[in-house]
Amino acid sequence: MCYNAISVLDQHRSMISVIPVASPVSLPLSNSAQTFPVQNVYCVGRNYADHAIEMGHDPNRESPFFFMKPAYAVLPDGGEMKYPPLSSDVHHEVELVVALGKGGTNISVAEAADYVFGYGVGLDLTRRDLQAEAKRQSRPWEAGKVFLHSAPCSKIVPKEGDLLEAGNIQLFVNGDQRQQGNINQMIWKIPEIIATLSTLFPLQAGDLIYTGTPSGVGPIAPGDNLLALVENVGALNVSIVDEFSSL
Ligand code: MN
C-alpha cells in the first residue's frame, strides 16, 4: 500500500516556523547531478549467519531485527568522521544499503522491488563497548549505534532491472582486508526486509535500509582510512579523525 505517511503535516507547511527549518541530508547519485534526500535510516541486525555467530548468537534460533539511526548519522563518500566521544572501541560494519523511492505500509514481498530506488555502500559504525553494556543491562542500543556520522554511505546507484541478489561485499582498513562476504548470504533478502519493516513502520520515500554485515567486524582508530566495496554498487571512502579535531 502506497500512501503519504505525513500528509497531516501538509496543512502546516505554509505557516512560519519558529526555528529555522533544517534542510535534509542528501546523498549524490552515481549517474547524475541530482541528489537523494534522506528521510529515515533503518538497520537490520544479525542478517548474516557468520556475523551472528561471531557476536555469540545462534542464527538458527534468532531472526534478524531492526534498529534506527537519525539522518545526521549519514556521511557522504569521501567524508571525515570524528571519532565519537565516550568510547574506546568503535567498530566497522560494512553493509549494502537499500534506498527507497516511495513509501508504504504492509508491502508484500512480491511488490517490494517497486519501492527500491537504488543502492549504496554503507558503514554501520558502532560504539561496541557501549552496545555491549546496553545488551548486558537489557537497555536500548542508541548509545552504541547513534552518533554523528555513524552511518556513512556512498553515492546512490539507481536500480536497473531485477533486485540485486548477489555480489561481493568487502571492507578494507588502511589497505588491509577486514571483512569479506557476499550479499547472497543475507538471511533476510531485500524483499523480505522491506515487507517486514513495512508491517512495523510507515516507510517513506528517502528511507535508507542498512541490510546487515558479514563477519570480520573490528575496531577502527583515528588516522584510519576505510574503503568499503559492494560489487556492482560502488565504493565508499571514509577517513577517521581525532575526537578533538575541529571538524
Ligand atoms: Mn550492522
From the list 16, 32, 210, 52, the residue with the least C-alpha distance to 121 is 210
Answer yes or no: is pLDDT of 59 > 80: yes
Ligand 1 centre from 68 Cα, in Å? Answer: 10
Ligand 1 centre from 29 Cα, in Å? Answer: 23
Adjacent-strand bridge partners of 237: 227
Q: State residue 5's pLDDT score.
A: 53
Ligand 1 centre from 246 Cα, in Å? Answer: 28
**What's the alpha-carbon Rg for the chain, to the nearest Å?**
18
Ligand 1 centre from 185 Cα, in Å? Answer: 14
Set of cell numbers at residue 37? 534526500
pTM of the complete model beyond 0.85 = yes
Ligand 1 centre from 15 Cα, in Å? Answer: 39
Ligand 1 centre from 85 Cα, in Å? Answer: 20
Ligand 1 centre from 62 Cα, in Å? Answer: 16
**What is the C-alpha to C-alpha distance for residues 104 and 87, in angstroms, rounded to an integer?**
37
Residue 216 gets the label, from left (phi > 0), alpha (psi -120 to 50) or beta, of left
How many angstroms separate the first and last alpha carbons of the chain?
A: 42
Ligand 1 centre from 20 Cα, in Å? Answer: 33
From the list 211, 103, 113, the residue with the least C-alpha distance to 159 is 113
Give 121's contacts (C-beta < 8 A, 6+ positions apart): 94, 95, 96, 97, 153, 154, 228, 229, 230, 233, 234, 235, 236
Average per-residue pLDDT for the chain: 93
Ligand 1 centre from 161 Cα, in Å? Answer: 27
Ligand 1 centre from 220 Cα, in Å? Answer: 15
Q: State residue 247's pLDDT score.
A: 59
Per-residue pLDDT reduced to its tens digit, 136-162: 999 999 999 999 999 999 999 999 999
From the list 109, 145, 119, 116, the residue with the least C-alpha distance to 203 is 116
Q: Where do the domains of the chain lie, and which CATH numbers do they carry? A: 25-241 (3.90.850.10)
- Give me the percent of the chain exceeding a pLDDT of 90: 84
pLDDT, average across residues 97-121: 98
Per-residue pLDDT reduced to its tens digit, 164-223: 999 999 999 999 999 999 999 999 999 999 999 999 999 999 999 999 999 999 999 999
Ligand 1 centre from 164 Cα, in Å? Answer: 19
Ligand 1 centre from 183 Cα, in Å? Answer: 13
